Structure 1
Amino acid sequence: MSSTTPMMRQYLEIKSMYPDAILFFRLGDFYEMFMEDAVTASRVLDITLTSRNKGAADEIPLCGIPYHSSQPYISRLVENGYKVAVCEQVEDPKTVKGIVKREVVRVVSPGLIVDTDTLQPKENNYLMALACGGDFGWGIAVLDITTGEFRATEMAGPEGVFSEIASINPREVLLPSGENGAALIESLAGPLAGRMINTIPEWVFETDRAAGLLTDFFACSSLDSFGCTDLPGAIGAAGAVLHYLQEAQKGTLDHIRTLSTYHAADFMVLDDSTRRNLELTATLHDNGKKGSLLGALDRTVTAMGGRKLRQWINRPLVDVRRIRDRHQAVHELVEKSLARQDLRSALDGVYDLERLNGKISMASANAKDLIALKGSLERIPALLDELAALESPLVRSLRGDIDLLADVTGIIGKAIVDDPPFVLREGGLIRDGFDGELDELRTISREGKGWIARLEREEKERTGISSLKVRFNKVFGYYIEVTRSHLASVPDDYQRRQTLANAERYITPALKEYEEKVLGAEEKLTAIEYDLFQQVRRQVAGQGGRIQATADALAVLDVLLALADLAHDRSYVRPEIVDSGELIIIEGRHPVVEGMSLSERFVPNDVVMDTRENQILIITGPNMAGKSTFMRQVALITLMAQMGSLVPAKSARIGVVDRIFTRVGASDNLARGQSTFMVEMTETAHILNHATPRSLIVLDEIGRGTSTFDGVSIAWAVAEYLHDHAPVAAKTLFATHYHELTDLALTRERVKNFNIAVKEWNDQIVFLRKIVKGGASHSYGIQVARLAGLPQATIERAREVLRNLESGEFEKEGQPRLARSRMASPVRETPQLSLFAPAKDELRQKLEDLDISVLTPLEALNVLDQLKKMV
């Protein structure tokens, strides 16, 4: 380092403090990157890589970007999994001799993005910290820096952690360094995949230190008011989040006003498999919102409402009273259509108050952000007037939480012009009449420019030079320019300053005196405007708590209105929520599928389940008939009811469910060395180990990843276990192609058989989409294969093989019937007769040749009579 330049020494010193980040080093109007950072950034950002000391032994790679357009470059680096440390000049170069002082003012990482333009408006951007389990539980803390949401909880074991990671979907995760952190990374490899992982010293997670950091930050004497005093793991994780945040963000964080403690037992548990299989917020085929439950329900008109709806879907309630309160509010808004429409219209013009509040608190908001806040708050009086006519307890509570914030609106309205510029340091922000000194300087500035115009007219008249001009540039300031053809007319009091090819430039004492007055006023004017704007922004930031509470209430109102609007259009009903094991849905419909443009009418279906008589429903029927749709719709209707929505059905009575499990389809997990069958069995084991009598289980084709006999055996044993073991006797929908499972109903009292009705016509099948009692007599696989477009020859051969199988495994000669074909009979040797072979058993042969699946009742009686005569 001793041989480098002072500037490079400064760079290396700062870089050594941020070794895991790409350092944006401010040099004048550019952010420069050097060495490895430059190589990486030039590749990711597709910008030119050059070098200092090119060709020399100490050549240093470098690249740069303009500082005023840095945000897209920062965002691209973060999207590609890098951190960016932004290093600014913290001294005015004009006033400093030697090297300008520089400091990192913020570190941008996936979980700490503050530029909201690069984020999805209706999705939170979470940073999460995990504290290791030990004598206490597993601590979890999450923060969205853009909204100020900061909450923590504690889990008893890793299963709860898996579920929380799936629910929260953090972009970045903090773990302790050392052996504990390494063990966590290994155990959470699946849930943490695709997220940035940062390890920080273990001492950061220590409970006492974390508690001290939190109390200092929130300026309180204890954590009692946060409800986490007896949750050391949660405190440790929250302290780690705050430590990381303060290291990365050097500015104010006043919008983070509280730490909310929550308990997983307050919400329905949904593991990652269930979220994916039910396509709650994203579809399986393209991970998009369209086609998911969120896509079907989201009629919110604000960004904060969209985020709140996503949270409700991910965290359905289990408290009967809270669920009923939401239902009552939505139902009232359905009934009062005019009020609903007026409220939605008023909300439609409200900007993202949560993120605006965050930007204002972190001093990154510009004048247009303040005007957006003002315009949003001006809609609140009309909202409150409409809410006054509503009676449901939840809506009345929201009305009490919504603050008019008239003082904030007044501050902004008095200070900021209606259409301010984006740039803060070029003036034009503050209204006339807001500040006396500012008004005086503006008068000087305006009069000064008028004085210059008058001076030009007067000098033209005095000298008789019609082409005389009074002009300005940054080098000479104001000057008088005279063309060469009029030089003889120049007065003696003109002082020459510059000679051009065709003109001369002059000044006069009066011109320079007024120039100093005008230019001084303009420079001072810009500085005062910026200072006044900062004062206004700080005043608004001081009311951040009120803005935050109002934003949250408006977000909840937006969700209630969206659910009501959907319920009105789709004829949803208010479900009856009970604290029992019942699940009764009459004419239920799939909330996503029914909204699609289908070639056929959606067929509603009923379901009656409980833990006394109808615990396990075995559902048989052909592929494509609608088994999976039916089972998913039962699960989704249950979830919708508990999140507070009305449901797509004629009526519904739903006992509160603590968890929904799904085992639907599977694929190889090559990254973890697991086959399809292993994934299937792992998910099934998870269900059997964690289900309770209050759970709802959806099982689709258990055991199909192995041989038929093994698959039937496993599926049978799983169903028996769910029936016979009281701790896991959950309501279960069990779809299968193993018709043998229908015999469970003969030996287990709470098992019932249902199938999807199918109509056969001229060797074709018509799916009726209706769930009816009883097991299916056929799988109709060949007919489905025909629908899929298999060649006719393949279809005919499949029918032959099926007939062979149905007539017994082996022919009389001992050859497999599976191989028999009309096209080519196998060549067989004449069997050797045995002296000790038993006589031919005609009765057994008759039974083997009998195909009972095609007999009518009358034919069956005739066959039975023949068999009796043979005996």
Structure 2
Amino acid sequence: MLQQYLSIKERYPDVLLFYRMGDFYEMFFEDAQVASRVLEITLTSRNKNQESPVPMCGVPYRAAQGYISRLIDNGYKVAICDQVEDPKAAKGLVKREVVRVVTPGMIIEDELLDAKANNFILAVACHNQLVGIASLDISTGMFRLTETEDAPAVIDEIMRLAPREVLIAENLKAEDTFSVLFDSLTGFAVTSLDTKVFEFARSRQRLLDQFDILSLDGFGCETLKAAVSAAGALIYYVSETQRQKIEHLDGMQTYSLGQFLIVDDQSRRNLELSANIRLGNRQGTLLSILDQSVTAMGGRLLSDWLRYPLLEPDPIEGRYNAVAEAVEKIQIRKDLRNCLKSVQDIERLGSKIAMGHANARDLTSLKKSIATIPELLGILDGFSAELYRYGQSTTPLTELAENIHRAIREDAPPVISDGGMICEGFDDELDELIRISRDGKGWLAELETKEREATGINTLKVRFNKVFGYYIEVPRSQSKSVPDHYVRKQTLVNAERYITDDLKHFESRVLNAQEQRASLELKIFSAIVGEVKAHHNDILSLARFIAQVDCLSTFADVAQTNGYCRPTLNTEGVLDIRDGRHPVVEKLITAERFVPNSIRLDNQDDQVIIITGPNMAGKSTVLRQVALMTIMAQMGCFVPAKKAEIAITDRIFTRVGALDNLSAGQSTFMVEMQETANILNNATANSLVIMDEIGRGTSTYDGLSIAWAVAEHLHNLNGMGTRTLFATHYHELTELEQQLERVKNYNIAVKEWNDTIIFLRKLVEGGTNRSYGIQVARLAGIPEPVIKRSKAILAQIEDGSHPKAVEKKKVKDRSKKKDGHVQLALFSPMERKLVETLQMLDLSRMTPMEAMNLLNELQNKAQTVVY
């Protein structure tokens, strides 16, 4: 047995081998040591009395999924080695083979998957400076590929898909060109394959064989050599790990990154689209607000729409039309969603069945889901063609559901090898075997009664176990009353066990009937599975139809519940939102009412908006809500506003906050500058840029200089500029409104009262020259002595004098300080006051004499400024 184990293990050195022995999966040697530690199970050994005992541990066959899940979550792969022949028919050792390798990207069991999230495995390949990406969710059959020459875009796409496993060629690790790419894979399960696996010719042939075609032109990827190389490597890996051809992969979707609104990985995190930036879960994200879907398929499709917002107005408008009608027809929508609640995850059920991993309960779930389709289509009749068209090409599969209903019992056991799955009346031969088994139970009861009467032993029992089969058990105290034709088989402490010729004859007849029944039921079950496999494409089409209907009705539910409006799309660069709200924040705040805000961006007058105001006033909320509404609109979803006109946007960039990346040796400022560089190098006239407090990571004047230059660059980008929201504490930037034609100033209004401030949360026109930092510090709980001291220091600075420390003994002797670089202020406090005075003048109402007097006063003040 160990020789067989070691010969199999030799072919799978990098995985944990689950070796089937009876009712257990056993592990040996190093595998046992690893598994016992990770799974926290007992480590024992075989041949304990020998000098070198073999480490060993095991898990029950029927409970293996839970243990496999824990191993996968801890970064391990598991090879399932099963008995592949009947032990009764085997000559010598039972033959065993690996029937499947479970890896993070090769999971199909529902209990190991997130119902509303895809489980992607991804392959990356290179060909002539192009990078190809292929992604696959084997549990649903979703198979996509693309290629690009933009290396950063590859990283963003990997992060957007968030795969559980990534495949790469071994030779790429040594190439410096891809070092950044590999650095981005930290945290993913990365599997290296032989470079030959990624060769284009081999990969192309694998795809042709998989889909039984002569050319890849039908999938639009014949000339995409990098993408085809990645896709072919995926097919190789799937066949190697699953030990079969994956029949439910019936096609590929070729796409271009330019087909969709691009939101880079950093911006996705900043906007918290699908993951909370602090905890990493869905709480407090846009997805948590939008995903009110009632089916697993609808939830996955909605996540996909969030990952890939559209660029073409027509399909977006098609979604709007469907959502608008569903909003209007409330009762029909409610009936529709109640009907959808009865639909199981037929997309993943179809894949399990196609791969041969389904049981009778899976078929029953599929049957019940199919049975709801006629009702669903009937409800959709109440809508116009805009929503109903999603189901017009759907095959109801009523006949398939009826066949499953006639064949499979509702109370079928989870294990297909034990029998008890097939309904009586479906097969005459099976009915006869069932009758024999059922009559046998009655015969046993009659035998027990007859033997009690014949022997006078009232405590005599007829029983069964797997070791002895059927037997008669008599208390030892009554053994003298046992007839001579009883044959003793076992002696227990308190009982004797016997057999008789009649009992053995019965056992042979009944056990054979039960074995024949289980074998015949498995044969019938396989035939039903084959019928389901033949309809796999129809099942997949049905799943997509249900997912689309669920998504669109979910959008309608969310729109009506939250008071969203239908946006108007344009390609002229106009973004005009009236009383817009942040879809997440408005749901989370409880202490105050959410204040809506209006904002307009265009390419003629209001292209760059400078927003000033104190911390905590709501600048970041306004910025984020504009970006989120743009994404929602291009998903086909209504938006949280009274009225909204949304410009079709090709990319959204955000520079919001920053954290030190200490592991990469990057400071806050370096991270900030890298993100800014990405924006300046990749933004276009159709992009939306969100800049929040750029330049905070360095000294005030360096930061101001950078912020000023960045704002100018975005205004002048490629001679056209790009739509930009620019929140800042550098009030000097408000002067850009006077110098650049498409810059406008706005601020978040506050009200001062009793030396404190009240946040009004309202975005109003005009800049502000105050940050209210000390007042905000008081609200944050800074002790009052510190607040008072801060105010005194501020007054000294504004008067042009240098603040002095309270404790004189701690003042350093500045005369001993070596000469060095001194950074000069761009504007002195006195200059600032002169500028503010000029800004507040109303020349149209001043007399010549008043103007002369004021000019004389300003000249006297200016003479006190020291340069």
Report the TM-score, using the length of structure 1 for normalisation. 0.91
Partner residue in 2 for 1:373: 366
Q: State the 1:807 CA deviation.
A: 1.6
Partner residue in 1 for 2:571: 579
- What is the one-letter code of the residue matched to 2:264? D
Q: Is residue 2:86 matched to residue 1:82?
A: no
- The 2-side partners of 1:409 and 1:846 are apart by 84
SS in 2 for 1:666: coil
Q: State the 1:538 CA deviation.
A: 2.1
Partner residue in 2 for 1:255: 248
Partner residue in 2 for 1:832: none
- The 2-side partners of 1:166 and 1:724 are apart by 31
8 A contact 1:132–1:180 mirrored in 2: no
- Residue deviations 1:445-489 (CA, integer Å, cap 9, x gap): 222332333344455566666665544444554455667888888
- Residue deviations 1:612-657 (CA, integer Å, cap 9, x gap): 1111000000000000000000010111000000011111111100
Q: Is residue 2:803 matched to residue 1:818?
A: yes
Q: State the 1:180 CA deviation.
A: 5.6
2:380 to 383, 387, 394: 387
Q: Is residue 2:135 matched to residue 1:142?
A: yes
SS in 2 for 1:402: coil
Q: State the 1:339 CA deviation.
A: 1.0
Distance 1:594 1:504, change over 3 A: closer
Partner residue in 2 for 1:447: 439
Q: State the 1:380 CA deviation.
A: 1.0
8 A contact 1:252–1:361 mirrored in 2: no
1:621 to 613, 616, 633: 613
Q: Is residue 2:778 matched to residue 1:780?
A: no
2:749 to 727, 736, 757: 757
Q: State the 1:252 CA deviation.
A: 5.0
- The 2-side partners of 1:717 and 1:868 are apart by 31
- What is the one-letter code of the residue matched to 2:306? I
Q: Is residue 2:110 matched to residue 1:125?
A: no
Q: Is residue 2:239 matched to residue 1:246?
A: yes
- The 1-side partners of 2:26 and 2:146 are apart by 42
Partner residue in 1 for 2:817: none
- 1:31-70 to 2 correspondences below 5 Å: 31-54=25-48, 56-70=50-64
- The 1-side partners of 2:529 and 2:456 are apart by 53
- Residue deviations 1:684-723 (CA, integer Å, cap 9, x gap): 0000000000000000011111111111111111111111
Q: Is residue 2:103 matched to residue 1:109?
A: yes
2:155 to 162, 168, 182: 162
Moved more, 682-691 or 173-182: 173-182
8 A contact 1:328–1:392 mirrored in 2: no
Moved more, 567-576 or 113-122: 113-122
- What is the one-letter code of the residue matched to 2:709? A
Partner residue in 1 for 2:427: 435
Distance 1:500 1:81, change over 3 A: closer
- The 2-side partners of 1:304 and 1:110 are apart by 20
Partner residue in 1 for 2:714: 722
Q: State the 1:183 CA deviation.
A: 4.2
Partner residue in 2 for 1:837: none
Q: Is residue 2:267 matched to residue 1:274?
A: yes
Q: State the 1:151 CA deviation.
A: 1.0
Q: State the 1:592 CA deviation.
A: 0.6
- The 2-side partners of 1:845 and 1:351 are apart by 69
- The 2-side partners of 1:316 and 1:628 are apart by 23
8 A contact 1:807–1:849 mirrored in 2: no
Q: State the 1:207 CA deviation.
A: 1.6
Percent identity, aligned pairs only, is 51
Number of residue pairs the alignment of both structures matches:
843
Q: Is residue 2:343 matched to residue 1:350?
A: yes
8 A contact 1:456–1:468 mirrored in 2: yes
- The 2-side partners of 1:851 and 1:800 are apart by 23
- The 1-side partners of 2:753 and 2:837 are apart by 17
- The 1-side partners of 2:56 and 2:467 are apart by 32
Distance 1:467 1:49, change over 3 A: closer
SS in 1 for 2:425: coil
- The 2-side partners of 1:335 and 1:143 are apart by 38
SS in 2 for 1:17: coil
Distance 1:450 1:29, change over 3 A: closer
- What is the one-letter code of the residue matched to 2:70? R
- The 1-side partners of 2:305 and 2:478 are apart by 81
SS in 2 for 1:301: coil
8 A contact 1:807–1:851 mirrored in 2: no
Partner residue in 2 for 1:302: 295
Moved more, 334-343 or 854-863: 854-863
Report the TM-score, using the length of structure 2 for normalisation. 0.92
Q: Is residue 2:683 matched to residue 1:691?
A: yes
- What is the one-letter code of the residue matched to 1:216? D
Distance 1:856 1:236, change over 3 A: closer
SS in 2 for 1:746: helix
- The 1-side partners of 2:692 and 2:76 are apart by 41
Gaps of 5+ in 1: 1-6, 811-816, 830-843
- The 1-side partners of 2:553 and 2:457 are apart by 73
2:792 to 785, 800, 817: 800
8 A contact 2:361–2:414 mirrored in 1: yes
Gaps of 5+ in 2: 815-827
2:315 to 314, 317, 322: 322
8 A contact 1:496–1:506 mirrored in 2: yes
- What is the one-letter code of the residue matched to 1:20? D
- The 2-side partners of 1:305 and 1:364 are apart by 23
Partner residue in 1 for 2:171: 178
8 A contact 1:620–1:754 mirrored in 2: yes
1:332 to 325, 335, 345: 325
Partner residue in 1 for 2:225: 232
- Residue deviations 1:706-743 (CA, integer Å, cap 9, x gap): 11111111111111111123267210000000011111
Distance 1:488 1:600, change over 3 A: closer
Distance 1:460 1:850, change over 3 A: closer
- The 1-side partners of 2:112 and 2:526 are apart by 25
Q: State the 1:153 CA deviation.
A: 0.9
SS in 2 for 1:24: strand
Distance 1:473 1:79, change over 3 A: closer
Partner residue in 1 for 2:702: 710
Q: State the 1:821 CA deviation.
A: 6.3
SS in 2 for 1:595: helix
Distance 1:234 1:444, change over 3 A: same
SS in 2 for 1:770: strand
8 A contact 2:173–2:179 mirrored in 1: no
- The 2-side partners of 1:67 and 1:557 are apart by 40
- What is the one-letter code of the residue matched to 2:152? E
Q: CA RMSD in A?
A: 2.9
- The 2-side partners of 1:451 and 1:474 are apart by 19
Partner residue in 2 for 1:732: 724
Q: State the 1:327 CA deviation.
A: 0.8
